[in-house]
Amino acid sequence: MVWTATPDGVVDFINEEFVRYTGLEDLHYPAGEWLMAVHPDDREVTVERWMDCVQRGVVYKTEFRIKHQASGHYRWHFVSAKPSRGAAGRILRWFGSTVDIHSSKVSDFVIQESQARLKRHHDLQSLENKVLDSISAGESLESIHELIISTVQYLLPQATCHIKVFSDSKPVVLDEFAQPSSLCQCFPVSDSSGNLLANFVISYQKDAAPSADDLSLIERISQFLRVAIERTNQHLQLKRNEERFRLVALVTSDVVWECDLSTDELFYSDGLKLLFGHDPSRDPALKKASTASKYIHPEDLSHVVGTMQSVIHSSQESWQLKYRYRRADGSYAQVVNHAYVVRDTDGRPLKLIGSVKDISDQVSLQEQLRASQRLEAVGQMTGGLAHDFNNLLTVILGNAERLADAISEEDPRQIYVHTIVKASLHGAELTNSLLAFARKQPLKPQSVNILDLLSGMRSLLLSTLGEQIDLLIRGGGELSVAQVDPIQFKSAIINLCLNARDSMPQGGHLEIDINSVSVQARLDHLSEGPAPGEYVRISIRDHGEGIAPEIIDRVFEPFFTTKEVGKGSGLGLSMVYGFIKQSRGYIQIESTHGQGTCVSIYLPQAVVKEAIDMQGGNLTVNSGHGEHILLVEDDEMVREHVESLLISLGYRVTALNNAAECLKVIDQLKNVDLLFSDIVMPGGVSGTQLASIIRNKFPDLPILLTSGYAEDVFSELALDDGRMCLLKKPYRRSDLATMLQKVLHK
């Protein structure tokens, strides 16, 4: 923006850009009217500087805020003007310009404020460290008070700080600290039980009231004071509690011990015998600390002794460490040992008083939890990958089918198309296996020909087991049809085959036998065998190392494993066991150590004619008749493919990117006959949530949901009325056409 002024400083011209920016309509202004665009707080100093430069005839440079008419906000500008002089040096005119510097100015303010906050944080951290160091060094509470007061007066020079420590809960009298013309504020300092320890009082001059940041800083510093007072009181309390030591040792379930540092004599409570089986009255080694240490695990001994000696010869008050301690039976327990150092008035160590707690069960549970969390993380990652692959397979499979329709049956290129379809279906099976491992899909029992299913898995099993394993699958017949979830069953078979492979590190034979059995009563030697009925038995036999008799009863326990650390979660067989039980079946293990293991699975037999075709098949494609479908899919490639597929099936389509877009336009769309939505979508509203909202607004609108993640949406929505159904990705065109007709005409 450009402007000019007369030699005596009267602005007589502003350009059109200035007019557009400020909203002023007249280009010619008498003296002073241009100030209407300047921020009221900046006008006085702006005029003073301008008139000073005019009188002295020097270049004018300044910064002030000008109102932006369009937004109504004031923005910072850099304003400058230079005098134009005649031949005699007399000023003929002033030429000025105005440049918007608001962004950089605001950035400078933010940087300055951040730097100030960072410095204050650093100063507070330094104070905290100094307070903790002073406490550790055993300095007096008065010296710590002086440290806190000096820091407050450094950070808040306009304030005066006072500290008053109470031995009771008497309230502070502010007049005791108040100064004339001051504002006084009190911060009570209480312990964890709410007992008043001290009052932290700040006096401010009345014209310099504390800001919110000041109050926050003072509040934090008061916590440092609380720590200092509590730790000092704890030290005094520790001395009072020494007399209660032996009484506590009689009632606690932990091992209480005391060591005289001058004589090395050691005392243990009766808990040592109860927890670890050691009797101090019969074991002389437990009389002295130097010899009692032999029961500490050799790998932990040097660390235990070293850290304890370090605490004793420092000014620290306590010591705590976890390590392994040998029981009387030779096994090791995980323990935590917590001790206090008792010192004389000069700080010299006299004795150690402590307790030992057996935390073996706690450590075992923590390890099991970590293993479970790792397995859950792997499951989530696997499920996410399978979801993305299913989206890709939906597009690949759909386009391959459309390409097959576009060329004649005699076209030699049909073989390539059929290969793509076959590979896509195989990819879908693989992603289903991933989802089964991840436990991301509900159990869906079906009538399955076990022999056909296992024969179809042969190539997958061979590649998984490796070249050193010979695989034999035999048996079957019409009676080998079982009622089971095929995906979960595949997962269980892979799990059992991998266990068999691991038992034969040098390679060997793995046999899978399938036959039908009739159980008239519980198996003789099994108290919980299969209930009477007809079953398909799948026996997986290896010729490996076998299972030791003493652990065979534990193999189905969660987290139980004989593999090395990091090579097994201990959950594989327990997951198989749970799946078989959920399928109303039974699992049995027979093993001879050194000869091999046979795992037999009993699954309820199903009617043969209900067996599903595991190879898949083409269904008759039912076309639409111009029905209007509202498609919601966040994946652009999938959305474009499905939209094209729906149009080719005879439907009208409105395609949207996510649930939020759908909710915006649903009331405006006319004659929507069906909502077809993905389940897993970004934006905060999932497909299931969208379906619930739409169902409440339009209870008669048919809804079809789809997902490559295969979450159990049946728990979230009522899908049993036929007007809301689920179609799992990847799906074939015939699957989509059939499901649409089913939902539309229910």
pLDDT digits (tens, 9 = 90+) for 318-341: 999 999 999 999 999 999 999 999
pLDDT at position 490 over 80: yes
DSSP state of 360: H
Angstrom distance (rounded) from CA 65 to CA 75: 5
Q: Which residues, other chains included, contact 701 with Cβ-Cβ below 8 Å and sequence gap of 6+?
A: 672, 673, 674, 675, 694, 695, 723
Which of 149-176 are b and which e, b meaning 16 or more Cβ less than 10 Å from the residue's Cβ?
Answer: bebbeebbeebbbbbbbbeeeeebeeee
pLDDT at position 163 over 90: no
pLDDT at 475: 83
Range with the lowest mean pLDDT among 72-81, 331-340, 387-396, 537-546? 387-396
Please name every residue paired with 81 in a beta bridge, in sequence order, or none if there are none.
Answer: 60, 96
Q: How far is CA 422 from CA 178, 406, 432, 616, 731, in A?
A: 88, 18, 15, 10, 13
Q: What are φ and ψ of residue 521, in 5° steps?
A: -155, 175
pLDDT at position 675 over 60: yes
Arithmetic mean of pLDDT, 477-506: 85
Arithmetic mean of pLDDT, 655-672: 85
pLDDT interval class at 527 (50, 70, 90): very low
Task: Find the length of the chain.
Answer: 746
Are 335 and 308 in contact by the 8 Å Cβ rule? The answer is no
More confident residue, 575 or 422: 422
Asked whether the bond before 730 is cis by omega within 30 degrees of 0, the reply is: yes
pLDDT at 250: 65
More confident residue, 163 or 53: 53
Q: Which residue has the tokens 């036929």?
A: 722
pLDDT digits (tens, 9 = 90+) for 563-613: 554 455 455 676 777 678 778 888 888 888 888 999 999 999 886 544 444
Q: Which residues, other chains included, contact 107 with Cβ-Cβ below 8 Å and sequence gap of 6+?
A: none
pLDDT at 422: 82
pLDDT at 713: 45
pLDDT at 206: 59
pLDDT interval class at 135 (50, 70, 90): low
Q: Which residue has the tokens 């002033």?
A: 94
pLDDT at 130: 77
pLDDT at 557: 64
pTM of the predicted model as reported, rounded to 2 decimal places: 0.38
pLDDT at 249: 62
pLDDT at 277: 92
pLDDT interval class at 445 (50, 70, 90): confident
Helix, strand, or coil here: 553?
Answer: helix
Q: What are the DSSP calls for 490-549, one per residue?
A: HHHHHHHHHHHHHT-TT-EEEEEEEEEEEESS--TT-TT-PPSEEEEEEEEEE-SS---T
pLDDT at 299: 94
Range with the lowest mean pLDDT among 365-369, 483-487, 534-538? 365-369
More confident residue, 96 or 443: 96
pLDDT interval class at 109 (50, 70, 90): confident
Tokens describing residue 370: 């970590």
More confident residue, 29 or 400: 400
Could you tell me what percent of the chain has a pLDDT over 70?
Answer: 78
pLDDT at 276: 92
pLDDT at position 122 over 80: no
pLDDT digits (tens, 9 = 90+) for 604-638: 988 654 444 444 444 445 678 889 999 999 888 88
Arithmetic mean of pLDDT, 227-238: 70
Q: What are φ and ψ of residue 407, in 5° steps?
A: -120, 155
Angstrom distance (rounded) from CA 502 to CA 513: 20
Tokens describing residue 192: 């964890």
pLDDT at 558: 54
State which H helix or E strand residue 115 sits in.
Answer: helix 102-136
Single out the residue of 506, 520, 480, 716 nearest to residue 604, CA to CA. Answer: 480
pLDDT digits (tens, 9 = 90+) for 267-290: 888 889 889 999 988 999 999 999
pLDDT at 577: 75
Arithmetic mean of pLDDT, 678-703: 87
Q: What are the DSSP calls for 312-356, one per residue?
A: HTSS--EEEEEEEEE-TTS-EEEEEEEEEEEE-TT--EEEEEEEE
Tell me the pLDDT of the chain averaged across its residues.
79
Angstrom distance (rounded) from CA 563 to CA 686: 41
Angstrom distance (rounded) from CA 544 to CA 528: 27
Single out the residue of 313, 311, 315 nearest to residue 337, CA to CA. Answer: 311
pLDDT at 618: 42
Arithmetic mean of pLDDT, 503-514: 90
pLDDT at 125: 76
Helix 414-438 to helix 360-406 angle, to the nearest 10 degrees?
Answer: 160
Please name every residue paired with 321 in a beta bridge, in sequence order, or none if there are none.
Answer: 337
pLDDT interval class at 134 (50, 70, 90): confident
pLDDT digits (tens, 9 = 90+) for 303-318: 999 999 999 999 889 9
